[in-house]
Amino acid sequence: MNKYITLFLLFLFINPFCMAEPLPYNFSDTTCVPITLSITEEISTKDSVIEGETVSFRVTKDVNYQGKTLLKAGDIVNAKIETVITSGMNGFPAEIIVDDFQIPNVDEKQLISTHYKKGQNRCLWVYPLKWSLTLIPFAGSLTNFIKGGHAKIKPKDIITIYYYPNW
């Protein structure tokens, strides 16, 4: 009898360790609240844009969820410049990646917010030009000097990020 009691106690002790830990997220809910923003001051890869720098966005429309106002039009939301890709040879465009939006009472984990902004993509005509110029020795290499457009985020650009309240 003692054996069974010992085994039962052992089972009770081991069982919690065997159970899988709950995940720190649950994406089952599809409720999504879009948040539209515009930048307060223009940023461009032409000027010095530093990775990790904080940039401010203004909320363009009231954001409501379940009858409560989360954000009012005109509120300021801070975000960070995650990565800057400078423009490259052969028309490769510059790119700015903005993320880490700080919204009051909203956990970062409840947001899908990565925003990508690219400059003018000149590869579309530079590469055909490059390949046609290869008929003349070394001429194709000249297109290396054509750079892609700078990435700009202007105050008139509307950025939409998504808030999932039940994640």
Partner 1 sequence: MKKIIYILLIMSIMCGSINANPVEINAIQQRVDNVGTRLLNFNRIPKRIIFTFDKEGKADWLSKYKALKRRQIIVYGEQYQFIQSDDEIAAMLAREIATVMKSYSGMWGGTIDAIQVALSSKKFETVADKRAVDYMVKAGYNPLALIVYINKTCPQKRQDVIARHNLTSKRLARIYEYITYKYPEYLQDNEYINNQYYQNFLLNSVENRRMLEEKIKTNSAKEVDYE
Applying CB under 8 A, the residues found at the interface with partner 1 are: 23, 25, 27, 48, 50-52, 82-83, 85, 88-90, 92, 95, 97, 99, 109, 111-112, 116, 118, 121, 123-124, 127
Torsion over CA of 17, 18, 23 and 27, rounded to 10 degrees? Answer: -150
Q: Tokens at residue 14, please?
A: 């081991």
CB of 144 to partner 1, least distance (A): 11
CB of 149 to partner 1, least distance (A): 13
- The residue among 5 and 23 lying less far from partner 1, judged by its C-beta, is 23
What residue spans of the chain are helical by DSSP H? 2-18, 123-133
What is the rounded distance in angstroms from the CA atom of residue 161 to the CA atom of residue 57?
12
- The residue among 58 and 146 lying less far from partner 1, judged by its C-beta, is 146
Q: Tokens at residue 74, please?
A: 């005109």
- The amino acid at residue 112 is I
- The residue among 37 and 93 lying less far from partner 1, judged by its C-beta, is 93
CB of 140 to partner 1, least distance (A): 13
Contact 100, 64 (CB under 8 A): no
CB of 110 to partner 1, least distance (A): 9
- The residue among 59 and 111 lying less far from partner 1, judged by its C-beta, is 111
Contact 96, 84 (CB under 8 A): yes
